[in-house]
Amino acid sequence: DRTADFTATLCTFSITPNAQSFGANGGTGTVTVTTGGGCSWFATSNASWITFTSGAGATGSGTATFTVSPNSSNSGRTGTLNVAGQTFTVTQAGLACAYSISPTNQSFTAGGGTGSFAVSASSTSGCGWTVWSNVPWITITSGMGFFGNATINFTVQANAGSASRTGTITAAGQTFAVYQAGTGSSAETFQFSASNYQVGEGEGRVTVLVYRDGDLSTSKSVSYLTVDDPAAVPCATANGTAYARCDYSTSVDTLNFAPGEGVKSFTIPIIDDAHVEGNETFTVRLVSAAGAVLGAPATATLTVADNDTAGQANPIYSTPFFVRMQYLDFLSREPEAGEPWSAVLNNCTDVNNNPLCDRITVSQSFFGSPEFRLKGFFVYNFYSVAFNRRPSYEEIIPDMRGVTGATEQEVYQKRAAFPVSFTERAEFKARFDALDNTAYVNALLDRYGLQQITTPDPANPEGGAKVTLTRADLVARLGASGAPSLTRAQVLRAVVESNEVGAQEYNRAFVAMQYYGYLRRAPEEDGYQAWLRVINQDPNNIRIMVNGFMNSTEYKLRFGQP
């Protein structure tokens, strides 16, 4: 039958889909072939890293399954399959290589020397990278190309010039800074490494370098702060200005340089909101250098490059962003590695309304934490006791940041320094310097109607032991000499941290801290008094107040559309 023979040659084939993409880890894929019942077909691979596991041939319509092997290179690749005479394209990404270096900088005397730093890669085999020096006086001695983790060794030539100099090494796309002193003047100066820094909004933080020049033989320190604009401007405003409540986190600290150390760095947290604002700038400034002077530049402008497009979701609804903001807003620091609160929310049956584990409970836990008491309540009560007023937003935020440290010991050291610096403020001196010791103690205690206080032992205020001190005790110890004596700063701290003041101020401080933390502003009086009545009537009903602030439109508008 000639017609039947002719018809048999008219088999047509189509495949669905005709392409597929894979990540570096590879995976499996399926191709569906559509054809007539008597039509035979085959499937073959043109790439060794793509293998058919079933359906490499069949008669009539069917499917073919294949596997893509992991890609050990950081370069992508493309292969093709021949399925029933049709071309199927497979694309695979390379390894998503990520790199970090440690340390990020090193200092040298004018005589030069050798140094090293480690590069860590996300893959020990497929992530290839190179290293080079950006200045002629730094020489790489350990090779120029590597895969995975490696240690970079380098030498720094002697500096014959009188001025200090800085250079950089680029390794795996990361920058390692080298600072070298000159042979000139021994006068010490501190300055930023640049007058301008730029950071992408999505990068999370910006690193700023501070150089120390001159005689490096002793320890020295320099303080810095972000220059915050307190204007009550909505966070969505596109005026080129970055604001601490919206775009970055207030940063205040002191850098301590060890002998021989000529460069240190600090980071400023950047907030990745969803507002389309365009690029924005803010300023960071060196403000004091003990035993040294401020060089140039002592002020730097930081530009935050916008990464937002219209219609993005508000990030406050995502767990990582939400948890990070609790740390920044209430503990004045970044989350520690392995923080517990993300896991609490990720395993919660209802993050919006389960009192055992929801966002309200998590946020409330920050207020109840010992760390918040060491910072927020501690700072707040100095203003209450000394000045009979609440601190302004512009006062309490840098003060809280000022008692934040990388370790528990550093926090204790900063808490010890805070009362001393507080008693040196102009407002404190104007109010108390003219008073004798008796009048000073009376001024602190009279407002609370106290004849005695139970407070941490002033000789060891972080030790846990408490002592009871009467008015007469405090006055006598102010005028004493020897071990039992107290300074005015110690007396002030003893009153601030007393059980009695804590009991009277707790609710007032708690309400105020909702404004400072969630809304990043001072309370309006009517709203403050209304919430204070709520908590005074039922001190256990904290959840309703946290919910009111955390789920308020004003809070959500800090980060995007509510």
* CA–CA distances in Å: residue 204 to residues 42, 177, 279: 52, 21, 15
pLDDT greater than 80 at residue 73: no
At 46-56, the pLDDT tens digits run 999 999 988 78
Q: Which two tokens stand for residue 454?
A: 């139970």
At 202-254, the pLDDT tens digits run 999 999 999 998 888 889 999 999 999 988 899 999 999 999 999 999 999 99
At 467-525, the pLDDT tens digits run 999 999 999 999 888 778 999 999 999 999 999 999 999 999 999 999 999 999 999 99
Q: Which two tokens stand for residue 249?
A: 């986190």
Residue 240: what pLDDT?
Answer: 95
pLDDT band, very low/low/confident/very high, at 544 (cuts 50, 70, 90): very high
Give percent helix, percent strand, percent coil of the chain, each to the nearest 5: 30, 30, 40
Pick the range with the lowest mean pLDDT from 175-179, 284-288, 378-382: 175-179
The contacts found for 198-202 with CB under 8 angstroms, 24 or more apart, are 198/302, 198/303, 198/305, 199/270, 199/302, 199/303, 199/304, 199/305, 200/304, 200/305, 200/307, 201/247, 201/270, 201/272, 201/273, 201/304, 201/305, 201/306, 201/307, 201/308, 202/272, 202/307
pLDDT band, very low/low/confident/very high, at 186 (cuts 50, 70, 90): low
- The secondary structure element, H or E, covering residue 80 is strand 77-83
Tell me the angle at which helices 471-478 and 437-446 cross, rounded to the nearest 10 degrees: 140
